[in-house]
Amino acid sequence: MRISVIGCGYVGLVTGTGLAEAGHQVICTDNDPERIAALKSGVVPIYEPHLDTMLAENRRAQKLSFTSDAGEAVREGEAIFICVGTPPLETGEADLSAIDNVARLIAAEACESKLIVEKSTVPAQTGQQLKRTLEVYRRNAGVEFRVASNPEFLREGTAVEDFLHPDRVIIGVEDETSEKQLREIYRPILERRFHCPVHLSGCPSTQSPALVVTTINSAELIKHASNSFLAMKISYANMIADMCEKVGANIQEVTHAMGLDPRIGPRFLEAGLGFGGFCLPKDVQAFIQLAERSGVDSGMLKEAERVNRRRIDLFLEKIRQSLWVVKDKQVGVLGLAFKANTDDIRFAPSLEIIRRLLAEGAQVRAYDQEAMDRTSAILPHVRYSREPYEVADGADALLILTEWQEFRQLDWARIYSTMGRPLVIDGRNLLNPGAMLDLGFEYYSFGRPIEALTQHLIPSLDSGASARASA
């Protein structure tokens, strides 16, 4: 099919490239002419594994093109995917102005009937508003707009793989034609016709994705309900980690055992600095606002948010407890991105932690293999190093704020010998406490007090063994 994608951010670029890879004819547009110019010259403005090569291949095959003429993009596609940002307003409500602008643009420019697919994350009932706007601003007679919801479940760092190998495809529709078109659009993906790039966690899921056909409201709600559940799971694990520190238990052994119950599952129980990124924080806020507007008690969601916000305070307490005076101390920071395998620093805990350390007079040096350019634009008073060992050299403390695998493989014996004080505070429980203590470090993390360090490593902690080996 001929498909238009409006919005060339994380979601739009992966969606457009993935749909081209699936065999469709895709044209993408964005209201930032520089971004379109970059894309036309083959520059991909975000770091997302496999995106650049897949985008280049599909451009060469003329399955994927970019234009800054939004009208052209609207007229090209039989289906138009709306992939614009819905950032939080001051109130926490989702800012839907970009959706509104795009709806009015489509209504004005469309000369033939279209399927309008809401891919952006929006509160339930947005689709109803979208339908009204398209109708009210429709300029050409005889043009019919059919609206559908098709929420994305792309994780940054594995977004290309998540698009081509999803667990499930959700489509919210109100008519058979829309359902048929979306089945057609996703057929190559549903039939798993891809040899997908290797999954960053080692093995792509093998079973075919489930297709869920539902209403627009339910499809919109599934997205917020899913992301908010993930956020609650993380905050729950962080509360258990705090409990472990008080009673002398090991969070990784507790969550490993919990996860053996298939009703709980092992994923998203990693304690640490909590959830950042441009999705979970804003989706929880938007869901709280929707609940409040609907007169539903959102206390559970607010608690998840409150627990998450406290992670940074607790981490800074660990720094003060070990470092004592922060002023004039040299603090090394490993990791800036909100999570590994991305360059995205939106809502990253590292930003707030560094701001508070600078405010207390610390000298901060930082390294992140992908996110330094973005961070240096907003935190100019940090010294950025091109390699991690420099950050540790002479430092009074070394903080791990992002779980990059690269930090696990560092030569920690070498780091021990170059630090001013061998103090490591690990915000992502990335390293193995036993290995670090064996090397002579003062080592702190979340939920793994010294008295709870057992000798027998459980399977999921094998990485700890490799850290012990590499250290």
Q: Give the nearest distance from C-beta 390 to ligand UDX in angstroms.
A: 25
Nearer to ligand UDX, 230 or 371 (CB): 230
Map the footprint of ligand UDX across residues 420-459, applying CB under 6 A: none
Q: Is 279 a catalytic residue?
A: yes
Which residue in 59, 104, 155, 383 binds ligand UDX (CB under 6 A)?
Answer: 155
Q: Give the nearest distance from C-beta 325 to ligand UDX in angstroms.
A: 29
Is 275 a binder of ligand UDX (CB under 6 A)? yes
Looking at 52-60, 106-114, 151-159, 407-415, which segment touches ligand UDX (CB under 6 A)? 151-159
Nearer to ligand UDX, 10 or 66 (CB): 10
Which residue in 152, 161, 343, 352 binds ligand UDX (CB under 6 A)?
Answer: 152
Is 235 a binder of ligand UDX (CB under 6 A)? no
Is 323 a binder of ligand UDX (CB under 6 A)? no
Is 227 a binder of ligand UDX (CB under 6 A)? yes
Which residue in 270, 352, 368, 426 binds ligand UDX (CB under 6 A)?
Answer: 270
Q: Give the nearest distance from C-beta 417 to ligand UDX in angstroms.
A: 30
Q: Which residue has the tokens 């985008």?
A: 55
Nearer to ligand UDX, 346 or 468 (CB): 346
Map the footprint of ligand UDX across residues 373-412, applying CB under 6 A: none
Q: Give the nearest distance from C-beta 154 to ligand UDX in angstroms.
A: 5
Is 156 a binder of ligand UDX (CB under 6 A)? yes
Mark 44-68 as b/e (b = at least 16 C-beta within 10 Å). Answer: bbbbbbbbbebbeebbeeebbbbbb
Q: Which residue has the tokens 């806020």?
A: 285
Nearer to ligand UDX, 50 or 114 (CB): 50
Sheet holding 2-6, edge to edge: 64-67, 25-29, 2-6, 79-82, 114-118, 145-149, 168-172, 210-214
Which residue in 166, 277, 427, 434 binds ligand UDX (CB under 6 A)?
Answer: 277
Planar angle of CA 308, 405, 407, nearest 5 degrees = 90
Which residue in 47, 81, 338, 404 binds ligand UDX (CB under 6 A)?
Answer: 338
Q: Give the nearest distance from C-beta 412 to ligand UDX in angstroms.
A: 22
Task: Give the C-alpha separation, 115 to 344, whole Å.
Answer: 31
Which residue in 47, 81, 153, 446 binds ligand UDX (CB under 6 A)?
Answer: 153
Is 98 a binder of ligand UDX (CB under 6 A)? no
Q: Give the nearest distance from C-beta 121 to ligand UDX in angstroms.
A: 8
Planar angle of CA 361, 362, 364, nearest 5 degrees = 135
Q: Give the nearest distance from C-beta 265 to ligand UDX in angstroms.
A: 11
Is 21 a binder of ligand UDX (CB under 6 A)? no
Which residue in 7, 9, 12, 274 binds ligand UDX (CB under 6 A)?
Answer: 274
Q: Which residues are catalytic?
A: 279
Chain contacts with ligand UDX (rule: CB under 6 A): 152-156, 227, 230, 234, 268-270, 272, 274-277, 279-280, 338-339
